Chain A
């Protein structure tokens, strides 16, 4: 049975690295894996998604509407934007973090209130203060790996050899920090 993980966020948040670590680990564990993402214009502060699918034999590299087993939102409004891709029996991991888009920056509209509550009312939702946790670890950029930790725990993939995967795919100077971040993320679920 093919499983689908949808990582969404705002260009520049590190969804691509998180998806890369995930796919490498899944291939390492013997799964067939496909991953799809869009590069180019949307990266300039736009809404982005990285889609990871794994199983015995994966056909489509993209997740269809209603097809994701888990929706991982690196920014909370993005969870709402992509919610129609989640299977109604799926779950959400959401970063309790706001990035204002241009209509909000200019004061035309307000950032929507009550997102986490609405998500929680619809599907099992784990809200994580990844920014706060990352700052506590000493580097705000590891927010993405904290969220990856929560994702792999939620999908029962926490037993894969993550320390080795991170050491093999992250700059040596940052490996320990990323391992800590991953474990911290796992502990949030």
Chain B
């Protein structure tokens, strides 16, 4: 049966066909849809959102150790979070097959860095496969499961954005039920205290030697000889890009199993062609191996070290120019940066905090990462998931050593899902070490940026089962915070009051929790009961009253539009959801904006 699937959907399909029983992940572009699609195989696979990637990896390790085939998936930076259990599980190894998907982001479409997670394979000493297409994404999961069980190792499954999010035609198969292998306690295998892990360490090296033989023999690594002039070595989507550019005029060594590398096949291929191009995104992972084997090649000396290696990039590098294009001078294009949506509940907070002086804002990862831009100009920095509380605390401690204007208050800002991910660890640190850092948790009742995944505040699991909400305010109070205030962020008076209240307390830390659902969220029964009036009306601007002061424009709402000629602001009716924030920004003497009367 043929289906049009994205790489992510194909991985889920492959895992289902391979008899996977359990899966866990934390959302992260471009990996999110893998677990979302695994969840569709209800009854066969239990798929769960974990609170972070480390917990997901650990859950999957546990499931594997007791005999089930398992898979976890994360974006590249997510694997940093999960690296600790991965490195040691590389020693102890699975019982049921275990695949670790890393979804890397060459080109950084939705990520804070461009790390090349192929390096993790060598670092953790685990085998790696790299699919090029949706079909391979499905097929290779099944192969990876077999490698995992046969060689007693987790397998790294390296994808990139274009493999994850590109659709192709996939020939699908049926599920092979492999059951759960019987669990037998085995401390020599599963407990890595030094006495035992020193033995495991040696076994890992022996395993790598066996995998080198596998790498030479597997059909995942194959040559396609068309020419003895040009030879291209590539893996992943770069193979498709190279084929687009060179077609049948080049020979190819296509690598699908890239750690350990098939050195024999590489030597043979390089000996048969006059000129070798190694085409790969990010690090010279394959190139270094080719050079170690003593062959000259064109790699990062010709192709860029960053970004995607799309056909135009290859063409520019090899031939000096891309295909013919239409000349434009760019004068008719204005930037279109992503913005907080009309009705976004983060708006009220950023509008108010943006007005404060002598405040430094430690940001985090989520939609609120956009608040560094105009018109809020709010956030000072961000780093990784959950980092706002840690970086905020450290900065506050140093500011507290200073005097006068140099002394600033730090506000650490993150969302509900990010709180449970790792920001709560930083909050414990603030409480324990007693800094006066202010923490603002923008609780929009869902994991927003990645497309609305359930989390501990949303009241549901990925399986659609109801589960008690873990109340952030309760957790924070249990940590020892005395000053905790929850506000409706669309009520600017309350929002301003909360910020002033926290700033006024210079001796102790405060926590503000804003609570209002994401405008794009499908409301649960609880949301409907708690927020009955949310997004039910629209706002309008009386054009006769508007004086064009642009106070409302400072909210950065995309539903507002300023007409420079008429010096008036209007509301794009289709976009407005009636959050009412703009109404409160109109000068009291003017009051040009109001709720629409039906």
What is the CA–CA distance of A123 and B312 in the complex, to the nearest angstrom? 21
Please determine whether A40 and B450 come into contact, CB atoms closer than 8 angstroms: yes
Asked whether A64 and B333 contact (CB < 8 A) given A38-B109, A59-B243, A87-B323, the answer is: no
- Chain A CB within 8 A of B172 CB: no
Interface residues of B in 306-331 (CB under 8 A from A): 308, 310-312, 315, 322-326, 328, 331
State whether the Cβ of B168 lies closer than 8 Å to any Cβ in chain A: yes
CA A81 – CA B244 in complex, angstroms? Answer: 24
A36 on the B face (CB < 8 A): yes
Task: Contacts A41-B338, A45-B558, A65-B322 given; indicate if A77 touches B332 (C-beta within 8 A).
Answer: yes
Per-residue contact bits, chain A 2-44, to B (CB 8 Å; 1 contact, 0 not): 0000000011000000000001100100001111111111111
Chain B residues numbered 502-550 whose CB sits less than 8 Å from any CB in chain A: 550
**Chain B residue nearest in CB terms to A98:** B561
Expressed in whole angstroms, the minimum distance between the Cβ of B344 and any Cβ of chain A is: 9
Closest residue on chain B to residue A19 by CB atoms: B167
Q: Does A67 contact B (CB under 8 A)?
A: yes
B85 within 8 Å of A (CB atoms): no
Residue of B nearest to A46 (CB): B338
| Residue from B30, B240, B574 within 8 A of A39 (CB atoms) | B30
Name the residue on A nearest B375 (C-beta).
Answer: A106
Contacting residue for A102 out of B162, B331, B339, CB 8 A: B339
Binds A, one of B50-58, B290-298, B366-374: B366-374
Which listed segment binds B: A109-117, A153-161, A171-179, A180-188? A109-117
Interface of B is mostly: loop
Q: How many residues of A contact B (CB 8 A)?
A: 59
| Contact string against A for B residues 323-356, beta-carbon threshold 8 Å, 1 for contact and 0 otherwise | 1111010011111111111000000000000000
List of B residues within 8 angstroms of A118 by Cβ: 332
Q: In the complex, which residues of chain B have a beta carbon less than 8 angstroms from the beta carbon of A43?
A: 338
Task: Report the minimal beta-carbon distance from B523 to chain A, rounded to whole angstroms.
Answer: 19
Contacting A23 at CB < 8 Å: which of B167, B338, B373? B167
Count of chain B residues near A, Cβ 8 A: 59
Interface residue? B480 (CB, 8 A): no
Residue numbers in B under 8 Å from A66 (CB-CB): 312, 322-326
Q: Which residues of A contact B378 (CB under 8 A)?
A: none
**A102 engages B373 (CB within 8 Å):** yes
Residues facing B in A120-143 (CB within 8 A) are 122-123, 140
B109–A44 touching, CB < 8 Å:
no
Q: Is B374 touching A103 in the complex (CB atoms < 8 A)?
A: yes
- Name the one of B30, B33, B561 contacting A105, with C-beta atoms under 8 angstroms: B561
Q: How far is the CA of A123 from the CA of B325 in the complex (A)?
A: 11
Contact between A24 and B337 (Cβ–Cβ < 8 Å)?
no
A87 to B322, CA, bound (A): 11
Q: Is A34 within 8 A of B167, CB to CB?
A: yes
Q: Are B340 and A112 in contact (CB under 8 A)?
A: no
Name A's interface SS: mixed
The answer to whether A112 touches B323, judged by C-beta atoms less than 8 angstroms apart, is no
The minimal Cβ–Cβ distance linking B521 to chain A, given in whole angstroms, is 14
Across the interface, do B325 and A60 meet the contact criterion of CB distance under 8 Å?
no
Nearest-neighbor residue (CB-CB) of B574 within chain A: A140
Which residues of A have CB within 8 Å of B322? 64-66
A107→B553 contact, CB < 8 A: yes
Q: Top 4 closest A-B pairs, CB basis?
A: A40-B110, A66-B323, A61-B166, A40-B29
Query: Besides A102-B336, A102-B556, 19 other CB < 8 A contacts?
Result: A39-B110, A40-B29, A41-B338, A41-B449, A42-B110, A43-B338, A44-B340, A46-B337, A62-B162, A77-B336, A80-B328, A84-B326, A88-B324, A102-B337, A102-B374, A103-B374, A105-B553, A105-B560, A108-B374
A-B contact pairs, 26 of them (CB 8 A): A27-B169, A33-B4, A34-B166, A34-B168, A36-B162, A38-B110, A38-B161, A40-B29, A40-B30, A40-B110, A41-B109, A43-B338, A44-B340, A45-B338, A58-B168, A59-B241, A61-B166, A62-B166, A62-B241, A65-B323, A66-B323, A83-B328, A87-B324, A106-B375, A112-B333, A122-B326
List residues of chain B with CB under 8 Å of any chain A CB. Answer: 2, 4, 29-30, 32-33, 109-110, 161-162, 165-169, 237, 240-241, 243-244, 308, 310-312, 315, 322-326, 328, 331-341, 367, 370, 373-375, 449-451, 550, 553, 556, 558, 560-562, 564, 574
